[in-house]
A and B are shown apart, each in its own frame.
Chain A
Amino acid sequence: MIESSLSLRLNHKNKRKKQLKKAKKQNTKSKTFFPPSMAKEFSVRPVIFPSSTPSTPYTRRPGSSSPPPPFQTAPRTSSPLPFIPFDIPSTSSAPPPLYSGIPIASSSSGYFEDEPPLLEELGINTRQIWRKTVSILNPIRLDPVLHEDGDLSGPFMFLLSFGLFQLLAGKFYFGIVLGWVIMASLFLYSTFNMIAGRNGCLDLYRCFSIIGYCMLPMVIFSAGSLFLPHGGTLIFAIGMVFVFWSTWVCTSLLLRLASCGDEHRGLVGYACWLVYLLFSLLVIF
């Protein structure tokens, strides 16, 4: 008895399901606006902008399964969002274009997606800058591979923040810092190449980049000096510690990147020490 009632209920359920399916099919059929071949591909009405300029419509033969002709875009990373082209031909003409992952270039507007992002175009690799900055913080374990290609944006940020902290202390040193950094890198560049002789292969760009990155301890010092009493032995002692930190990192990087061997460590180290002493002068006095 129970089984029969169960089986009856199941049959009833199946019947209901079939009826629902039929109704659904009828509904979709009634709402379809497109030719039957397109019905499987999309189910949303395209948006028609009234002010669109009639350009050459992007036609596609119905039923063809090949992808749209490849467009010359710059190689870019994946763009998961689909793009709706701005100008769309009128509905009376060819069928509307598809959504596609590859952006379609319209005639006038919508050209932005072909250009690389601004930072990439400028050559500012923020992740690399961050990694280089963090590597300076640990003077014992240095990674010279990170610093092999020079970079001007990191040093500029450090110099600007150095000038900013000095500005907070009431001294306007932006131009002076820039001038002194240029002179210091010229000095270090010529001295290093002369001393290292045949093995030395430092170019001015990389020299400037290394000096700029090793300014990080000086930037920290200039920030800290805002809270210390001006012109005393304490600030002098702390300054010497930071200068020594900067010198150590700069010398190690220079020696490992641009020459082979440690033979002139003292000589190059003295030159670097002079450079960072110069900047500590600005902070202490």
Chain B
Amino acid sequence: MLNCSISAMYNPNMASQAGPQGPPPLNPQQGPFGNAFYGAGSEFIKTGLGAYGEKFLGSSSEFMQSNISRYFSNPQYYFQVNDQYVRNKLRVVLFPFIHRGHWTRITEPVGGRLSYKPPIYDINAPDLYIPVMAFATYVILAGFSLGFIGKFSPEALNYQLTRGLLGWFVQVALLKSLLYSMGGGEAALLDIVAYGGYLFTGLSLGIVVSMFWSLSYYVLVPWLSICMGVFLVKTMQRVLLTEMRSHERHSSRQHYMLLFMGIAQIPLFLWLGSV
């Protein structure tokens, strides 16, 4: 994945060190977990502590990677996006009614197993770029609206960040519990995190509009939450259809749960949006 050349990790103009040189890394670490250490710090820290860091982080990152790949699917898949995908996906998320096509994800056989196409090729595939950016936008917009009221302080912003994270977690928990209750619990965790994060797009839009006209917020929130509900219902239906066993399809219980999930968006939006 992230095959950085070793030369890029070491500064070319590093002064010759009198101290002990750390052993060069045997293999550049895959993924973001191992790379973070090699770049940080000055040359002295790099060579002096690099030897120890290699010992501690090297063994533990392999352990982490082997275990994390069980719970997290490859995160790089979710960031294969481009401008066009982002624009279209935003349109789908904010106004799900105008999506003409179908909602299923395109599958392709890769190495003998069926896997989904990456987001560049498939508008229905979830991605992590939009949720993360939308979350950061939400936090900064919350800061701006706090500032316009006059209650801005960095501590208040940190509090908003925590609230946003909690809201994201609640949404993910809601979706996951829904899936479990219907027996389709094998969906990838990062998929659910991505679906849960899409709510921040509508939320950010609501906050932007409410900055200009405060009353419009109470008009927008129901609209946006209904939009998000519809989007989630449609996607979850597809997820359930692919994950579930055949004899439980189209049951009324399933429909009620999906409806509950759509309605639950309203209080979530209201809570997160009240800055």
Near B by CB (< 8 A), chain A positions 232-282 give 263-264, 266-267, 270-271, 274, 277-278, 281-282
Give residues 141-192 of A contacting B (CB, 8 Å): 148-150, 152, 173, 176, 180, 186-187, 189-191
Closest-by-CB residue of A relative to B37 is A204
Interface size classification for chain B: 35 or more
Which residues of A are found within 8 Å of B137, using beta-carbon distances?
274
Tell me how many residue pairs across A and B have CB atoms closer than 8 Å: 99
For B132, the chain A residues whose CB sits under 8 A away are 191
**Total interface residues in chain A, CB < 8 Å:** 42
Residues of chain A contacted by B233 (CB below 8 angstroms): none
- Contact between B79 and A194, CB atoms less than 8 A apart: yes
Question: Inside 8 A of A195's CB, which chain B residues have their CB?
Answer: 79, 81, 129
Q: Which of A150, A186, A205, A281 lies in contact with B140, CB distance below 8 A? A: A281
Partner of A190 from the list B5, B32, B157 (CB cut-off 8 Å) is B32
Secondary structure dominating the interface of A: helix
What is the bound-complex CA distance between A190 and B157, given in angstroms?
22
Check B133 for interface membership: any CB of A closer than 8 A. yes
* B129:A277 contact, CB within 8 angstroms: no
How far is B1's CA from A95's CA once the two chains are assembled, in angstroms? 71
Contact of B32 (CB < 8 Å), options: A193, A207, A208: A193
| Contacts A191-B132, A281-B157, A282-B154; A149 near B79 (Cβ below 8 A) | no
- The CA-CA distance from A148 to B83 in the complex, in Å, is 27
Q: Quick one: closest A residue to B140, CB to CB?
A: A277
In the bound complex, do residue A203 and residue B12 qualify as a contact, i.e. CB atoms below 8 Å apart? no
Residues of A close to B147: CB separation below 8 A: 231, 281, 284-285
> Is the pair A152, B129 in contact by a Cβ cutoff of 8 Å?
no
- For A200, give its contact among B2, B83, B136 (CB under 8 Å): B2
Q: Mask for B66-83, Cβ within 8 A of A = 1, else 0?
A: 000000000110111111
- Taking Cβ atoms with an 8 Å cutoff, the residues of B that contact A are 1-5, 8-9, 11-13, 15, 32, 35-36, 38-43, 75-76, 78-83, 86, 128-129, 132-133, 136-137, 140, 143-144, 146-147, 150, 152, 154, 157
Task: Please give 13 more A-B residue pairs, beta carbons under 8 A apart, in addition to A194-B128, A267-B129, A285-B147.
Answer: A123-B43, A149-B13, A194-B79, A197-B2, A198-B3, A200-B2, A201-B5, A203-B39, A281-B140, A281-B144, A281-B152, A282-B154, A285-B146
